[in-house]
Amino acid sequence: MNLEETLSKHVKQAVKSNFNVELETVEFQATRKEFAGDITVVVFPMLRFIKKNPVEIGETIGSYLVKQVEDVKRFNLVKGFLNIEINDLYYLNFFNNNKTDKTFGFSQPLPNEKATLVEYSSPNTNKPLHLGHIRNNLLGYSVSEILKASGKKVYKTQIINDRGIHICKSMLAWKRFGNNETPKSTGLKGDKLVGNYYVKFDKAYKKEVASLIALGKTEEEAKKKAPILLEAQKMLQEWEAGNVEVVSLWKTMNAWVYEGFNETYKNLGVNFDALYYESDTYLLGKEFVEQGLKLGVFTIETDGSIWCDLTDNGFDKKIVQRADGTAVYMTQDIGTAIQRIKDFPDVGGMVYTVGNEQDYHFQVLFLILKKLGFDWAKNLYHLSYGMVDLPSGKMKSREGTVVDADDLMQDMADTAQEISEELGKLEGYTDKEKKELYKMIGLGALKYYILKVDPKKRILFNPKESIDFQGNTGPFIQYTYARIQSILRKADFTKVDMQKPVKVALHNKERELLKHIQLFPEVIQNAATSFSPALVANYTFDLVKEFNSFYQNVSILGAENSDEKIFRVQLSNMVANTIKNSFALLGIQVPERM
């Protein structure tokens, strides 16, 4: 039971015994810096149930807590705010009980706990991953790790969009302009090579559209009748019909892309437990259209198309099967969700990491699955996130104006190198160690900059700003971790019994640090409930600020006696461990030296 839960129980008892009122909840907040206290009970909400002056209520509760609760030292009242001071012993007991726990804050899955499946990335195989994909991957991966740390079993997955007209555009452009070149012959990653042909298709298409307009066609006619587009559409039909030559080229080019994707994922530090391919799933869901008709969830129109009328739920009518019997994306997503539950029977809910332009789609998908009677449909969540913009504006794949994920990661490492060399703090490092450190700092800067922002908010990404060694940045936090490792190396505690309980009088800065470390388990649970890595990121920054204030105001290695020195070094180690664990939840590594 944490401090808030313990105090809540006693505050309720105080109110019951003194005012004969049973409170359902007690409101707490952090004590303001200008007042003495560790935690504050907000008295005002109690006035609805207790017809007394807030000061009188606060005095009564405060006196009760001092008498009845061993951990409460004293209290003070500021209007309707009851500030409670906690004994040092409470914090020292917490410290001694947890100082060697390397997984402090993490929970183990409960027996028979239903698993959660998290989908993220889900790229198209006609282009390499870009900055938008980076936010998607970082969010999906981090939310997966946070859910695990909160005590959930998690499966990470993606659905690869490997079919459709956009794939055929790249294939056709390669056939026309490729001269049989391959990733090996060009030295290009496979996803980049295929992406180049997607851009070439668009250039050729625009040229043909312009020629048709010059011959008197309207722009709309020209866009529909451009020969290269008609040929791509024919190629898609041939793929669906199983044309051997087309399917063979499709397999070859997709294999190039997958190899490229895997390299990017490895460099980014994300992974998956299961992969789904749209070429396998695009026919799923049709059997459930029949089921929906029987249940009255779907209806047939006069032309033979099948729809779901959601107007009573505040939405419109949604088509689930065309008149010619072919499926639409909604049908496919219904089938894929059901298939995943078949593949992973212990899954009780799913998280879809997809940009906010798909908000309506997922609201409709989840509602239809509920109407079809699937119990797990109530545990579906759309991790909707805002787009990532650059100072130069919006990215466009087909025009080749995207920020390539691989290039961005390399640029971040290069920027880290440039700044590190200016600071001149890497004496004694080998070239290999320097290269690894630059990558760690660059990736840490990129990930932290993106994950510290609430997922729902749009981001203006500024690489230079993200890699600053001061302020709310990844490198600033990494540097603090490395500073603590330096302290630990100098301390040399080889002959110290680390298990022995420490008893010291707490400095206010030590108390503040312990209070902040105590919050870590709650932060993990809140981040898991709200699917927000930003809570973990900003908690870590606040912890680092508290540590740096402690470091500047309290002598660690020059403490007056050995007990104080041992305590302060162990406290520093506990902070470092919390930084390392919280950054691991964000997919960020921390350096031992920096």
Type of residue at 239:
W
The residue that leads in pLDDT, 278 or 462, is 278
Residue 100 has pLDDT above 50, yes or no: yes
Residue 399: pLDDT over 70: no
- Structure confidence at residue 397 (pLDDT): 44
Residue 398: pLDDT band (50, 70, 90) is very low
Q: How far apart are CA 320 and CA 337, in angstroms?
A: 15
pLDDT digits (tens, 9 = 90+) for 126-184: 999 998 899 999 999 999 999 999 999 999 999 999 999 999 999 999 999 999 999 99
Count CB-CB contacts under 10 A for residue 490. 10
**pLDDT value at position 401?**
55
Cβ partners under 8 Å of residue 408, min gap 6: 131, 134, 446, 463
Q: Look at residue 395 in the predicted model and tell me its pLDDT.
A: 44
Which H/E stretch holds residue 119?
A: strand 115-119
* pLDDT grade for 560, boundaries at 50, 70 and 90: confident
Average pLDDT, whole number, for the chain? 93
Which segment, 222-231, 462-471, 555-564, is predicted with the most confidence on average?
Answer: 222-231
pLDDT digits (tens, 9 = 90+) for 438-457: 999 999 999 999 999 999 99
Indicate if the pLDDT at residue 276 is higher than 70: yes
CA-derived radius of gyration, the chain? 29
Rounded to 5 degrees, φ, ψ at 308 are: -120, 120
- Among residues of the chain, what percentage have pLDDT more than 70? 97
* pLDDT tens digit sequence for 278-307: 999 988 898 899 999 999 999 999 999 999
Average pLDDT over residues 200-227: 96
Q: For 75, left (φ over 0), alpha (ψ -120 to 50), or beta?
A: beta
Q: What pLDDT is attached to residue 465?
A: 82
Residue 278 confidence (pLDDT): 93
Question: Over 70: is that where the pLDDT of 494 sits?
Answer: no
Q: Where in the chain is the domain with CATH 3.30.1360.70?
A: 3-86
Convert the pLDDT of each residue in 194-207 to its tens digit: 999 999 999 999 99
| pLDDT tens column, 309-338 | 999 999 999 999 999 888 889 999 999 999
pLDDT at 581 over 90: yes
Per-residue confidence band for 400, with pLDDT thresholds at 50, 70 and 90: very low
Question: What pLDDT, on the 0 to 100 scale, is given for residue 111?
Answer: 84
Asked whether the predicted pLDDT for residue 109 surpasses 90, the reply is no
Residue 514 above 80 pLDDT?
yes
The Cβ of residue 140 has, within 10 Å, a number of other Cβ atoms equal to 26
Strand order of the β-sheet with 299-300 is: 299-300, 306-309, 317-321
Reported pTM: 0.92
Half-sphere exposure of 406 (CA within 13 A, CB side): 15
| pLDDT tens-digit series, residues 24-69 | 999 999 899 899 999 999 999 999 999 999 999 999 999 999 999 9
**pLDDT over 60 (residue 522):** yes
The pLDDT, as a whole number, for residue 502 is: 85
pLDDT at 568 over 70: yes
pLDDT at 396 over 60: no
Q: Check: CATH 3.30.1360.70 for 3-86?
A: yes
According to CATH, the superfamily of the domain at 91-162+328-594 is Isoleucyl-tRNA Synthetase; Domain 1 (1.10.730.10)
Which has the higher per-residue pLDDT, 319 or 499? 319
Mean pLDDT of 104-126: 93
| Residue indicated by tokens 């700003």 | 465
Report whether 133 contacts 260 (CB < 8 A).
no
Q: What is the average pLDDT across 74-91?
A: 95
pLDDT band at 187 (very low <50, low <70, confident <90, very high): very high
Under 8 Å CB-to-CB from 82, ≥6 apart: which residues? 40, 41, 42, 43, 58, 61, 62, 75
Long-range Cβ contacts of 434-437 (<8 Å, 24+ apart): 437/591, 437/593, 437/594
